[in-house]
Amino acid sequence: MEIMNWVLALLIAQGVLGAIDTLYHHELTEALPRRPGAKKELAIHSIRALLYGVVFAAIANVEFHGIWIASISALIAIEVGLTLWDFVVEDNSRKLPATERILHTILAINGGALFGLYAWQLVEWGGLSTALVSVDYGWRGDLLTLFAIGVAASGIRDGIAAFQLNKAVIVANPFLGLAKQKIFVTGGSGFIGEALVNDLLDAGHDVTVWIRDPIRAAYLFDGRARCIRNISYLDSADYFDVIVNLAGAPVIGARWSSRQKAKLLSSRLETTQAVINWVAQAKSRPSTWIQASAIGYYGVRSGNEKLDENSTKGDGFMAELCAKWEDAAHSVESLGLRRVTFRLGIVFGPGGALPPLLLPYYFGLGGRLGNGKQVMSWIHRDDVLRLFAEAISSDAMQGTYNAVAPEAITQAEFAQTVGKILMRPVWLHLPAAPIRWLAGEMAQLFVDGQNVIPNRLLSNGFSFRYPTLKKALHDLV
């Protein structure tokens, strides 16, 4: 029994660590269920998780005596084999973040100790008369049975995701049909940048990417893009038709301390200025500069004020950040480039901001944030890419545009729509005060809103593929 006490403790630890890995890495940061290149990894995860569910339930409730030890030993051997295969597939398909590698290492060490001790116990049981003996480990057995249900559910989830990726309808590439271009992209590894670069490459364009981690870029773009880690690597003889400037540290993350604010500013302004300096001395200059910004430019507004491209800059750090970033890019016009700036709303897609917003709903814990009256101005990532394609191909596009869907919704409406689509209750409403206390000034991204209108896009006749939240969520959920 002493050995089994250790086995149960290690198995509980394995379940907790595995849940963290699945929720944080696979679902949130890496978004594997929505990553086309992860089909094989998801399929392996599905089979492994279903078998793990059997292992959890078996160890928690049954002793294997005599010849029965062969069955559980075979199951564990298959489980270990799948894990090793998964390691190989992961390394061939994506660059794992450091936190995921560390967690996988801990899981491997814990799993080795767990199965080693259990093998010792099986040797003892092997000398007994052949039988399956029911056993009651109290709360530990009950907890592990719940873990078994949870990990099996995760396996079903991954299996469905792999099937859906295999059957997914391929959306028309908006860059197909454009004259072949040489395009330089900063921030190519981000949520928007990765999709942009892959679409450009798939459409046959020549892409150079500024990225801090070229090894990760090799996985993201299958070695098809030229990747540089420093703008100084560009030569004056290099030529690009278009520059797309997306580089900048994520605004959602650490609290906005003075140090973090400086990091957010410098990551945008220094990169932008470095690229402009290259443009100024290039022997042949690009014709177009596409600049990212955000609706944070308008700051927090009282009431339900409608904000179009002519609305004034707001107050607060986000407004300052966006305004300085936009101002830094304005000088490209004096160098003869056509500048197109997109003030992006919350971008919904297979990754990015949407999965963390949806996660509580999957567990039946969804609800509005704050009073629910704050307006969310959003846009589907596919429409963002279509806007970039339009900006590349149409010389008529120039200046600043609000890149948001025509349907702005309140946070309460968002919660109700998600609840209906996922068929989950919407009841756990979180007041604004604790969110502001936890997130500080950054809380304005969650509990304050802006009713932004894409006037210029609508006036130009741009047709949104996803004009309503319901249609966007049906595509993404």
| pLDDT tens digit sequence for 198-233 | 999 999 999 999 988 888 888 889 889 999 999 999
Query: Which amino acid would we find at residue 436?
Result: R
Q: Which residues of 138-157 are buried (b: 16+ CB within 10 A; e: fewer)?
A: eebbebbbebbebbbebbeb
* CA count, 13 A, side-chain hemisphere, 414: 29
Q: For 204-257, where are the alpha helices, taking DSSP H only?
A: 214-221
Q: What is the pLDDT of residue 202?
A: 95
Nearest to 466 by CA among 383, 387, 347: 383
pLDDT digits (tens, 9 = 90+) for 314-340: 999 999 999 999 999 999 999 999 999
| Sign of the four-CA dihedral 453, 193, 337, 396 | negative
Closest CA to 22 of 52, 61, 59, 57: 52
> Average pLDDT for residues 413-419, to the nearest whole number?
96
Instruction: Give, for 71, the enclosing helix (H) or strand (E).
Output: helix 69-93
Strands (E), 323-447: 338-344, 346-349, 351-352, 375-376, 378-380, 399-403, 409-410
Mean pLDDT of 374-381: 96
pLDDT tens-digit series, residues 276-299: 999 999 999 999 999 999 999 999
Other Cβ atoms less than 10 A from the Cβ of 296: the count is 23
Whether pLDDT at 171 is above 90:
no
| Residue 410 pLDDT class (50, 70, 90 cuts) | very high
420 Cβ partners below 8 Å, 6+ apart?
none
What tokens were used for 363? 């567990």
Least confident piece of the model among 32-36, 67-71, 76-80, 252-256 = 32-36
Query: What is the distance between the alpha carbons of residues 230 and 210, in angstroms, rounded to a whole number?
Result: 7
Q: Per-residue pLDDT tens for 85-98? A: 999 998 888 878 88
Q: Are 130 and 68 in contact (CB under 8 A)?
A: yes
Please tell me the least confidently modeled range out of 44-53, 131-140, 144-153, 163-172: 163-172
- Pair 405, 472: CB distance under 8 Å: yes
Mean pLDDT confidence for 172-199: 95
Angle at CA of residue 271, ends 267 and 276, nearest 5°: 150
Instruction: Examine the pLDDT at 302 and tell me if it is beyond 80.
Output: no
What number of other Cβ atoms are within 10 A of residue 24's Cβ?
A: 14
Is the pLDDT assigned to residue 1 strictly greater than 70? no
Please write the tens of the pLDDT for every residue from 13-27. 999 999 999 988 888
Mean pLDDT of the chain: 93
Percent of the chain predicted with pLDDT > 90: 76
Domains of the chain: residue spans and CATH = 2-167 (no CATH), 182-476 (3.40.50.720)
Please work out, in degrees rounded to the nearest 5, the angle formed at the alpha carbon of residue 81 by the alpha carbons of 78 and 86: 125
Residue 302 CB neighbours (<10 A): 6
Residue 436: partners with Cβ closer than 8 Å, 6 or more residues away? 443, 447
Task: Write the DSSP symbol of residue 335.
Answer: G
DSSP 8-state assignment for residue 366: B
Cα angle: 99, vertex 101, 103; to 5 degrees: 70
Quote the CA–CA distance of 156 and 458 in Å, as a whole number: 42
| pLDDT at site 169 | 64
Confidence band of 359 (pLDDT split at 50, 70, 90): confident
Beta bridge partners of 291: 245, 341
Which two structure tokens, joined as six digits, stand for 11? 């198995």
